[in-house]
Amino acid sequence: MSGKEVSREKRNTFLYLREKIGFKAPPKELQERLKEQNEIKKKILEALKTGPKTVPEIAKETGIDTYTIFWYLMTYLRYKQIEPVEKTDEGYWKYKWVGGR
Amino acid sequence: MKQANEYDVLIIGAGIAGIEAALTLGDAGYRVLLVEKEGSIGGKMALLSKTFPTLDCASCIATPKMAAAAHHPNITLLTYSEVQEVVKNGEADFSVKILKKPRYVDLDACTGCGICETVCPVIVSDEFQYDMRGRKAAYIPFDIAVPKKAIIDLDNCILCGSCERECPASAIDFTQEPETLEVKVGAIIIATGFKLFSPTLRPEFGYGRCKNVITAMQMDRLLAPTRPYNSVLRPLDGKEPMRIAYILCVGSRDRKVGNPYCSQICCMYSIKQAQLIMGALPLADVAIFYIDIRAFGKGFEEFFNQTQAMGTMFIKGRVIVVEEDKEGNVVVKYEDMDDGGRLKEDTFDLVVLAVGAMPNSDITKVFKNVKIELDEVGWIKQVDPNNNPATTSVPGIFVAGCAAGPKDIPDSIVEADAAAAQCMAYLNEHKYGRKR
């Protein structure tokens, strides 16, 4: 059997697991976390629409604390969704959104 | 591929000591089963920036060994797997049960392209970056992981199917089940390494309370090529730190937290990091609060002197408390021993806690009919450290690296090779009848 044939057989195995464990929806805690992540991302994206910004600038615009903003920015950096652009005299980097999901 | 069920040696733990022992045994023709509980081999060394005192790139040393172990004809590698039970039937005869956890990814099909990570919608804390950023529920442990294959973290997966739909290799496989493997081995090497001291046990040093207080392992990540940030930055707000302080002996030589011993590596890794920081941030000031500097190895004293000459301040003093000011800077209050014990305070952008090494000996619980003795603080006891450093209280079971006590990388490698040599002698006598 070729690799391609094997892989075709394995499509949608997540449905198999859903059925096996009786999955209806993600646990509430996970749903809430996902909702919060999406809201934070939306706010960060909105703030970066007008150009590259530092962490304190994004925090000020979004009302989210700097620690959380930076943690998410560095996660986006891992997935190449943001890029550092330039460093300010105060020692903060400005970040710009470069796309992706 | 069908898993063999008999090996000469089982090595538990695939950090640098386990890998080194496996390579030495494999090169000598012994069949080795190398078991690692994480999704990648490499242990802590693969996550470090550089080694001391030579400032060699840690991953440049570790990665070729990791790759060699993964591709060695005499080494079978099991990652994301845990040894669950060991029974000694007689000399050179152990029965072992190993739990192979499901990755939900076909190892043969996955190319490590990372597309599953990109499309996964769930972000969780990245344990390989010591929580300094997030990773996805579908993830590759770290950039230089071996094998560089994805894992689906089912505890955080919402079973949306995005990874499976987008995987170009069709490697996602949610039909995988946990599997228990039963194997026979002739000898065992325990190379489970060490745990890091949890700095929350010393709340006065501010870890968790002050966002700009990090551990030295986190700083090593910041200095490594596979770092979590785009530069050395402080976690509170991403600012480049200009004043950085180290507090040594956090969780070492500390009877209050039950660790009376010196962790042996903290002085030198702090000094190493001070040098690296001066390279990464040439304008930054680095201060090290210490009780004693223990620079005991080859080239260590010279390295310490060089770091002093480069401008790192060494302050002999006990830190009493660490607090955060309104700007998130860290105020360190300390007793200056070189000034008659006067109480002083200083403010830093970032404080690094040089946390000690803790025993990681839980594995001894899986041995059912033999007792592996621990020393008084919980490290695996070397019963004949002068003559046979890898010997434990059970013939046929050996110890390598930091499982027996804290030590630096060169010493871990030397002990791993000692364990491999002792293992060969044991097998030759009890399995192959080739005693001298």
pLDDT(A4) > 90:
no
Q: Do B170 and A12 touch (CB under 8 A)?
A: no
Looking at the fold, whether B310 and B325 belong to one and the same domain comes out as yes
Phi, psi (5° rounding) for residue B425? -60, -40
Residue B36 host element (H or E): none
Q: How far apart are the first and last CA of chain A?
A: 35
At residue B121, the 3 state secondary structure works out as coil
Looking at the fold, whether B292 and B406 belong to one and the same domain comes out as no
- Does residue A17 lie within any of the structural domains? no
pLDDT of residue A99: 82
Q: How far apart are the first and last CA of chain B?
A: 38
Q: Do A14 and B159 touch (CB under 8 A)?
A: yes
The CATH number for A45's domain is 1.10.10.10
Residue percentage of chain B with pLDDT more than 90: 97
Residue keyed to tokens 């599997």:
B179
Looking at residue B181, its amino acid is L
The residue segments making up the domain with residue B371 are 6-101+178-193+360-430
- Does residue B52 lie within any of the structural domains? yes
- Does residue B300 lie within any of the structural domains? yes
Q: Do A30 and B240 touch (CB under 8 A)?
A: no
- Total domains in chain A come to 1
Kindly state whether A56 is in contact with chain B, defined as any CB-CB distance less than 8 angstroms: yes
Looking at the fold, whether B96 and B183 belong to one and the same domain comes out as yes
- Does residue B108 lie within any of the structural domains? no
pLDDT(B92) > 70:
yes
Average pLDDT, chain B: 96
- Does residue B423 lie within any of the structural domains? yes
Kindly report, residue by residue over B168-215, the tens digit of the pLDDT.
999 999 999 999 999 999 999 999 999 999 999 999 999 999 999 999
pLDDT(A7) > 80:
no
Residue percentage of chain B with pLDDT more than 70: 99
Kindly report, residue by residue over A10-69, the tens digit of the pLDDT.
579 999 999 999 999 999 999 999 999 999 999 999 999 999 999 999 999 999 999 999
pLDDT(B251) > 80:
yes
Looking at the fold, whether B89 and B201 belong to one and the same domain comes out as no
Q: Do B122 and A34 touch (CB under 8 A)?
A: yes
Looking at the fold, whether B415 and B316 belong to one and the same domain comes out as no
pLDDT(A3) > 90:
no
Looking at the fold, whether B205 and B185 belong to one and the same domain comes out as no
- Chain A positions in Cβ-Cβ contact with residue B140 (cut-off 8 Å): none
d(CA A18, CA A35): 21
Looking at the fold, whether B42 and B184 belong to one and the same domain comes out as yes
Instruction: State how beta strands B213-215 and B194-196 pair.
Output: unpaired
- Does residue B377 lie within any of the structural domains? yes
Q: Given B106, B169, B228, which is nearest A74 (Cβ)? A: B228
Q: Given B106, B174, B235, which is nearest A17 (Cβ)? A: B174
- Does residue B173 lie within any of the structural domains? no
Smallest CA–CA separation between B219 and chain A, in Å?
A: 15
- Does residue A43 lie within any of the structural domains? yes
- Total domains in chain B come to 3
A75, A76, A87: which to substitute to probe chain B, counting the most B Cβ within 10 Å? A75
Smallest CA–CA separation between B196 and chain A, in Å?
A: 23
Looking at the fold, whether B344 and B416 belong to one and the same domain comes out as no
Reported as a pLDDT band with limits 50, 70 and 90, residue A5 is: very low
- Does residue B140 lie within any of the structural domains? yes
Rounded to an integer, the average pLDDT of B282-300 is 95
Reported as a pLDDT band with limits 50, 70 and 90, residue B409 is: very high
pLDDT(B435) > 90:
no
pLDDT of residue B272: 98
Looking at the fold, whether B404 and B260 belong to one and the same domain comes out as no
pLDDT of residue B257: 87
Residue A18 host element (H or E): helix A13-21
Looking at the fold, whether B330 and B365 belong to one and the same domain comes out as no
Looking at the fold, whether B279 and B339 belong to one and the same domain comes out as yes
pLDDT of residue B431: 94
The CATH number for B69's domain is 3.50.50.60
pLDDT(B297) > 60:
yes
Q: What is the ipTM of this complex?
A: 0.94
pLDDT(B30) > 60:
yes
Kindly state whether A37 is in contact with chain B, defined as any CB-CB distance less than 8 angstroms: yes
pLDDT(A2) > 90:
no
